[in-house]
Structure 1
Amino acid sequence: MDLDEWPYPKQPLVPLAETVHERMSVEIFRGCTRGCRFCQAGMITRPVRERSITGIGDMVEQGLKTTGFEEVGLLSLSSADHSEIGDIAKGLADRYEDDKIGLSLPSTRVDAFNIDLANELTRNGRRSGLTFAPEGGSERIRKVINKMVSEDDLIRTVATAYGNGWRQVKLYFMCGLPTETDDDVLQIADMATKVIAKGREVSKSNDIRCTVSIGGFVPKPHTPFQWAPQLSAEETDARLEKLRNKIRGDKKYGRSIGFRYHDGKPGIVEGLLSRGDRRIGAVIRAVYDDGGRFDGWREHFSYDRWMRCAEKALAPFGVDVDWYTTRERTYEEVLPWDHLDSGLDKDWLWEDWQDALDETEVEDCRWTPCFDCGVCPQMDTEIQIGPTGKKLLPLTVKNAAPAPSGHAH
Structure 2
Amino acid sequence: MRKTALSDEVLMAVEKPARYIGNEVNSVMKDKDKVDIRFAMCFPDVYEIGMSHLGIQILYNLFNAREDTWCERIYSPWFDLDQKMRDDNIPLFALESQDPVIDFDFLGITIQYEMCYTNILQILDLAGMPLRAKDRDESYPLVIGGGPCVYNAEPIADFFDFFYIGEGETSYDELLDLYKDHKRKGYSKKAFLEAVAQMPGMYVPSLYQVIYHEDGTIQEFVKLSETAQFPIKRLMASDVSTLPYPKAPVVPFIKATQDRVVLEIQRGCIRGCRFCQAGMIYRPAREKDVEVLKEYAREMLKNTGHEEISLSSLSSSDYHALKELVTFLIEEFKDQGINVSLPSLRIDAFALDVMSKVQDVKKSSMTFAPEAGSQRLRDVINKGLTRDDILNGAGEAFAGGWTKVKLYFMLGLPTETTEDMEAISELADAIARRYYEIPKDERVGKCQITASSSFFIPKPFTPFQWAPMLTREEYREKARFVKETFNQQLNRKSLRYQYHDPETTIIEGVLARGDRRLSKVIEGVYRRGCLFESWTEHFDYQVWDEEITRQGLTIDFYNRRERGSDEIFPWDLIDIGVTKGFLMNEWERAREGKVTLNCKESCSGCGMAKEMGVAEEDSFPKRGAICVES
Deviation (angstroms), 1:198:
1.1
**Equivalent pair of 1:78/1:108 in contact (CA under 8 Å):** yes
Alignment of 1:173-212 (within 5 A): 173-202=409-438, 204=440, 205=443, 207-212=446-451
**Matches of 1:185 and 1:281, distance apart in 2:** 36
2:520, 2:365 → 1: CA distance?
Answer: 44
The letter of the residue matching 1:343 is G
Instruction: Report the CA distance shift for 1:364/1:279 in structure 2 as closer, same or farther (over 3 A).
Output: same
Q: CA deviation at 1:363?
A: 0.5
**SS of the residue aligned with 2:438?**
helix
1:337 to 2:571 alignment = yes
Match of 2:21 in 1: none
The alpha-carbon deviation at position 13 of structure 1 amounts to: 1.3
The one-letter amino acid of 1:8's match is Y
**Counterpart position of 1:110:** 347
Q: 1:205-244 maps to which residues of 2 (within 5 A)?
A: 205=443, 207-244=446-483
User: Structure 1 residue 95 and structure 2 residue 332: aligned?
Assistant: yes
* 1:213 aligned counterpart, secondary structure: strand
Query: 1:25 aligns to what SS in structure 2?
Result: strand
Deviation at 1:385, TM superposition (A): 4.8
- 2:190 corresponds in structure 1 to none
1:287 matched to 2:525: yes
Q: 1:325-375 deviations in whole A, cap 9, x for unaligned?
A: 12110111101100111111111110011000110000011222x222112
1: CA distance between counterparts of 2:613 and 2:241?
A: 18
Q: Distance in 2 between matches of 1:203 and 1:364?
A: 37
State the distance in 1 between where 2:545 and 2:612 align: 40
- 1:33-69 CA-partner distances (Å, limit 9, x unpaired): 2100000001111111111110110111111111111
The whole-number CA distance in structure 2 between the counterparts of 1:107 and 1:6 is 22
How far apart are 1:122 and its partner, in Å?
Answer: 2.6
Partner Cα distance (2:612, 2:326) in 1:
32
Q: Which stretches of structure 1, 4 residues or longer, exceed 3 Å deviation after superposition?
A: 379-386
The count of corresponding residues between Structure 1 and Structure 2 is 379
Give how far 1:11 is off.
Answer: 1.9
> How far did residue 126 of structure 1 move?
1.4
Question: 2:450 is paired with a residue of what secondary structure?
Answer: strand
In structure 2, what is the equivalent of residue 128 of structure 1? 364
Separation in structure 2 between the aligned mates of residue 306 and residue 2 of structure 1, nearest angstrom: 43
CA distance in 1, matches of 2:251, 2:498: 31
Structure 2 residues without counterparts, runs of 5 or longer? 1-237, 626-630
CA distance 1:70–1:7, change in 2 (3 Å): farther
Displacement of 1:297 in angstroms is 1.3
- SS in structure 2 of the partner of residue 157 of structure 1: helix
Shift of 1:248: 2.4
The 5 A counterparts of 1:236-315 are 236-250=475-489, 252-313=490-551, 315=552
Q: SS of the residue aligned with 2:516? A: coil
**What amino acid maps onto 2:430 in structure 1?**
K
Give the match for residue 210 of structure 2: none
Tell me if the contact between 2:267 and 2:314 (Cα under 8 Å) persists in the aligned partners.
yes
Tell me if structure 1 keeps the 8 A contact 2:317–2:344: no
| 1:372 pairs with one of 589, 605, 612 | 605
How far did residue 148 of structure 1 move? 1.1
**Structure 1 counterpart of 2:376:** 140
TM-score between both structures, scaled by the size of structure 1: 0.90
For 1:285 and 1:156, locate their aligned partners in 2 and report how far apart those are by CA, in whole Å: 50
Q: 376-385 or 83-92: which moved more?
A: 376-385
- Give the drift of 1:20: 2.5
Q: CA deviation at 1:263?
A: 2.7
- Contact 1:33–1:365 (8 Å) recurs in 2: yes
Counterpart Cα distance in 2 of 1:361 and 1:242:
28
2:271 to 23, 27, 34: 34
Structure 2 residue 249 is the aligned partner of structure 1 residue 15: no
Q: 1:295–1:302: 8 Å Cα contact kept in structure 2?
A: yes
Judge conservation of contact 1:283–1:310 (CA < 8 Å) in 2: yes
> What is the CA-CA distance between 1:9 and the residue it aligns to?
2.0
1:227 alignment partner AA: W
Q: Is the 2:501–2:536 contact (alpha carbons within 8 Å) kept by the matching residues of 1?
A: no
Provide the C-alpha distance between the structure 2 equivalents of 1:155 and 1:222, rounded to a whole number of angstroms. 32
Please state how far the C-alpha of 1:200 moved relative to its aligned partner: 1.1
Whether the aligned pair in 1 keeps the contact of 2:271 and 2:598 (CA below 8 Å) is: yes
Give the gaps of 5 or more residues in structure 1: 387-409
Equivalent positions of 1:10-89 (< 5 A) are: 10-89=247-326
Q: Deviations over 1:76-133 (max 9, x none)?
A: 000111011111111111111111111111132111112111122233x210011111
Q: Deviations over 1:382-409 (max 9, x none)?
A: 76857xxxxxxxxxxxxxxxxxxxxxxx
Letter in 2 for 1:268: I
How far apart, in 1, do the equivalents of 2:532 and 2:242 lie?
38
Query: Which has the bigger relative contact order, CA under 8 A and spacing at least 6?
Result: 1
Aligned to 1:320: 554
Residues 355, 400 of structure 2: 8 Å contact kept: no
User: What's the CA shift for 1:164?
Assistant: 2.6
Cα distance, 1:203 vs structure 2? 5.3
In 2, the alpha carbon distance for the partners of 1:228 and 1:169 equals 31
Distance in 2 between residues matched to 1:143 and 1:268, nearest whole Å = 25
1:379/1:230 Cα in 2 relative to 1: closer, same or farther (>3 Å)?
farther
Provide the alpha-carbon RMSD of the alignment: 1.5
TM-score w.r.t. the length of structure 2 is: 0.59
1:19, distance to aligned residue in structure 2 (A): 1.7
Residue 395 (structure 1) aligns with: none
